[in-house]
Structure 1
């Protein structure tokens, strides 16, 4: 079954370029487009996509607000934020709102395709190491770390996995660090997400920073 995608950007040329890249890839289908957040919500409700490629800065309703509304709905799509990074101070807020990752608008086409496939598969992050560094650099946008009572539900090993995940390690790297199989790490990650009530790895990274499990600049 094809991966169903909605493209949201206020620039028609950007939408056309994204559509051309996506539709050149077997197994992917663009089922809708929108030029602002308000229209994007309507398109998503009508088409029920798997993935939304979401710009942040748009008229009427910005991408961050639109993503929050989409992700609060039953059976929400996964949202990949499109950003210029160096000028967009909403990136941390986008991840905190529950988006599954981000992609630079200047990224090469193959990176866009890989991002869609990785997020659709459930890993949620195109590059965990990059995402963790971005979150660390934007940590000033978050409130002071405050331990969450939900951490009490984690076993010591699960807490260790959460810390390594938040520092940007992949499943394979965590497996090597803990001397266990990668399948075991995947099981731990799944249990961490379930116990903490988190959607994916992106939310787990944000949660770990906000709850003080890891702190910006901490070594992996």
Structure 2
């Protein structure tokens, strides 16, 4: 397995550092470094890229807009990697289809594991960011569990799976927790997404924690 990656960041020091870090893992192949979102979109349209690591704040085109265009026109999975944890950026990236949202100060191993999870179909968003979204969208009042979602839309099993997703569990971890197969978990997630008109599991986490659809 070789995961083909590009790195988009307008800071050359960050780009090169990430390149060096990712190249220490044999499962990654960094195809290119680019300096803004527009270049990332153009590269992904012309090449087979598995994951685009995108900084949020870049000249010409930021990571949020680049995510939107990459998702719309390629099979590449965008992952936001940034030093910023601003709510608007998080929600914008989620809304536009980002498959992961990570802070740059993570240990290399955590970044590696997150990229592998995204490659295999699991969306990743850090607990710190989910907590921040939960707080800000509830006007400073913590939302507990499914307190603000319409529980009549879902079966008890679906609510349990949503709770696990909100805790950051992977499909495999949910399957082990609930003693069901990974395929069954995937089917439940597809059903949940269809009921609330969402596209990926990170949106389920945000919906479960806040009662809001993004």
Q: Which residue of 2 aligns with 1:19?
A: 19
Name the CA shift for 1:67/1:203 in 2 (closer, same or farther; >3 Å): same
Q: Displacement of 1:132 after TM fit?
A: 2.8
Rounded to whole Å, the distance in 1 between the matches of 2:4 and 2:156 is 39
Structure 1 portions without partners, runs of 5+? 214-220
Question: How far apart are the structure 1 equivalents of 2:188 and 2:85?
Answer: 34
Structure 1 pair 131–170 and aligned structure 2 pair: CA distance change class (3 A)? farther
> Which residue does the alignment assign to 2:57?
57
CA distance in 1, matches of 2:106, 2:206: 23
Q: Tell me the equivalent position of 1:113.
A: 112
Q: Is the 8 A contact 2:56 2:81 kept in 1?
A: yes
> Judging changes above 3 Å, is the alpha-carbon distance between structure 1 residues 139 and 189 closer, same or farther for their aligned structure 2 residues?
same
- State the partner residue of 2:142: none
- For residue 56 of structure 1, report the CA deviation from its aligned partner: 0.7
Q: Which secondary structure does the structure 2 equivalent of 1:122 belong to?
A: coil
Any idea what the Cα deviations from partners look like across 1:133-162, whole Å, max 9, x if unmatched?
243144269xxxx979xx85x544324422
Aligned equivalents of 1:197, 1:2: Cα separation in 2: 33
Instruction: Note the C-alpha offset of 1:43.
Output: 0.8
Hey, what does 1:76 align to over in structure 2? 75
Task: Give the 3-state SS of the residue equivalent to 1:61 in structure 2.
Answer: coil
Give the paired residue count: 203
Q: Deviations over 1:151-184 (max 9, x none)?
A: 85x54432442244235455536864xx543644
1:66-112 Cα deviation digits (max 9, x unpaired): 11111122x53111111213557412221222111211112121122
Counterpart of 2:101 in 1: which secondary structure?
strand
- Structure 1: distance between partners of 2:210 and 2:72: 21
Q: Kindly tell me: are residues 103 and 159 of structure 1, through their superposed partners in 2, closer, same or farther at Cα, counting changes over 3 Å?
A: same
RMSD: 3.2
Give 3-state SS (helix, strand or coil) of 1:53's partner. strand
Summarize the Cα distance change of 1:72–1:138 in structure 2 as closer, same or farther, 3 Å threshold: farther
Distance 2:85 2:69 in 1: 25
Q: 1:166 is matched with which residue? A: 166
Task: Give the Cα–Cα distance (whole angstroms) in 2 for the partners of residues 59 and 212 of structure 1.
Answer: 31
Report matched runs for 1:82-161 at 5 Å.
82-86=81-85, 89-125=88-124, 127=126, 129-139=127-137, 152=153, 154-161=154-161
Alpha-carbon offset, residue 209 of structure 1: 5.0
What TM-score, normalized by structure 2, do the two folds share?
A: 0.77
